[in-house]
Chains A and B, each alone.
Chain A
Amino acid sequence: MTAQALSLFWPYCIFIIMLVIIGLYCMLVTYNLIRALIGLELLIKAITLFLILAGYISGHPVMTQALVITLIVIEVVVIVVATGVVLNLHRQNQSLDVRKLRTIKD
């Protein structure tokens, strides 16, 4: 099972790389703060899939599951705090556009 899974590793990696590209592109190109967070979420999804795949192939899915659960907890905390920051920025600037953020200074 493991040897067979190892031969299948690369095709799955292609999709993971594609997901990373989508997330990175979204974060780099957008000016909207919420959309940047969505890009970050997509990147985390790619990493989650990669970890689980690595666990499946190495025959240690239980260990990677414990790691992924930790990752999900951290992901939630990061997103909740980031959306709090976004809301406060919107309250002060009446915009989510990063080009209009002028009140961060001082």
Chain B
Amino acid sequence: MNMTLDIVILLALILAALWTVMTRSLLRSAIGLALVSAILTILLFRFDSPLAAVFELSVCSGLISVVFISTISLTEPMTMKEVIKHMKDRLTRFWYLPFIVVIVGTALSLLDIRLNIKVPPAETQKDVREVLWNMRQLDLIGQVTILLAGVFGVAILFKEGRKK
């Protein structure tokens, strides 16, 4: 595995995450989040997890961005006066973040930590479809239940809205 390339990708991930949090516009934040997902997809591919990477790209980078952008477009934008007031307020709260990230990153990289992890013996490689459908059936039932709960939740939320 080429570690230098991984570090470059991880740095890009951190920079994209910082931009997502620091940028003033909510729309840019949503786009930044999609960028973070896209960069994470590259990392997942590199860590031998192609199926999870495809899910990350299609669902997180695609669907969740659409959900966020739709929500932002359905809410009212701020007036110019509010924007100016908000900018000063935001700057006082958010300017610490890059410094905290850099300081924590530097401090952790200077620590010589050797994790004593006992790695279990690697099994014979199974197909992810076999694991998902045969070994983790309870997970699938949980997923279907959560999806149904989400559908009912959204249905109830918008039904209440219509009544009012």
Residues of chain A at the chain B interface (Cβ within 8 Å): 2, 4-6, 8-15, 17-19, 21-23, 25-26, 29-30, 32, 34-35, 37-39, 41-42, 45, 48-49, 52-53, 55-70, 72-81, 83-88, 90-91, 94, 96
A38 contacts B21, CB within 8 Å? yes
Closest to A91 in B: B161
In the bound complex, what is the Cα–Cα distance between A67 and B154 (angstroms)? Answer: 25
Residues of chain B at the chain A interface (Cβ within 8 Å): 1, 3, 6-7, 10-11, 13-14, 17-18, 20-21, 26, 29-30, 33, 36-37, 40, 43-44, 47-49, 51-52, 55-56, 59-60, 63-64, 67-68, 70-72, 74-76, 93-94, 96-97, 100-101, 104-105, 108-109, 113-115, 117, 119-123, 125-128, 131-132, 135-136, 139, 142-143, 146-147, 149-150, 153-154, 157-158, 160-161
In the bound complex, what is the Cα–Cα distance between A10 and B146 (angstroms)? Answer: 34
From DSSP, what is the main secondary structure of chain B's interface residues?
Answer: helix
A32 contacts B26, CB within 8 Å? yes
In the bound complex, what is the Cα–Cα distance between A13 and B117 (angstroms)? Answer: 14
